[in-house]
Amino acid sequence: MFADPQSVTISGTAVSLPRTAAGTNTGGFSSNDGNVTLSVASSYGSKVRRTISLGHQKVAADPLLSGANNYYNMRTYLVVETPKVGYTVAEAKAVVDALVAYLTASTGAKVTQLLGGEN
């Protein structure tokens, strides 16, 4: 079980995320204002799927309506899918670590490319 609370840093600001949900194979954490959420889940089918996601919500100006504001939100996921047998936790972690390092190398250049629509 993930510790309570969790913390994430967005644009240099740490956000505390107390536990707000717990269930069979799931956990949820939210900031006090509800603008940042963290979800963790595992599912067991023909493969084992582990998912962690970070959601963010903000209010910003509506580009089409002068003087109007809207809520906007986004979510990012990391999904790890492994066979029921064949990989140890350490082996799977090594593959996840490689992807995270690849995405964050060169000050996140690959994430920038991904968000820019490159493929």
pLDDT in tens, 16-65: 999 999 999 999 999 999 999 999 999 999 999 999 999 999 999 988 88
* Residue 77 lies inside a defined structural domain of this protein: yes
C-beta separation of 56 from 35 below 8 A: yes
Q: Pairing between strand 36-44 and 26-30? A: antiparallel
Give the pair of three-digit tokens for residue 75: 């979510």
Q: Give the CA radius of gyration of the chain.
A: 17
CA distances from 84 to 28, 47, 96 (A): 25, 6, 17
- Which residues on neighbouring strands pair with residue 118, listed in sequence order? none
pLDDT digits (tens, 9 = 90+) for 69-96: 999 999 999 999 999 999 999 999 999 9
As for how many domains the chain has, the answer is 2
Domain that holds residue 110: 87-119
User: Is residue 80 assigned to a domain?
Assistant: yes
> What global pTM score does this model have?
0.89
- Evaluate whether 112 touches 102 at the Cβ level (below 8 Å): no
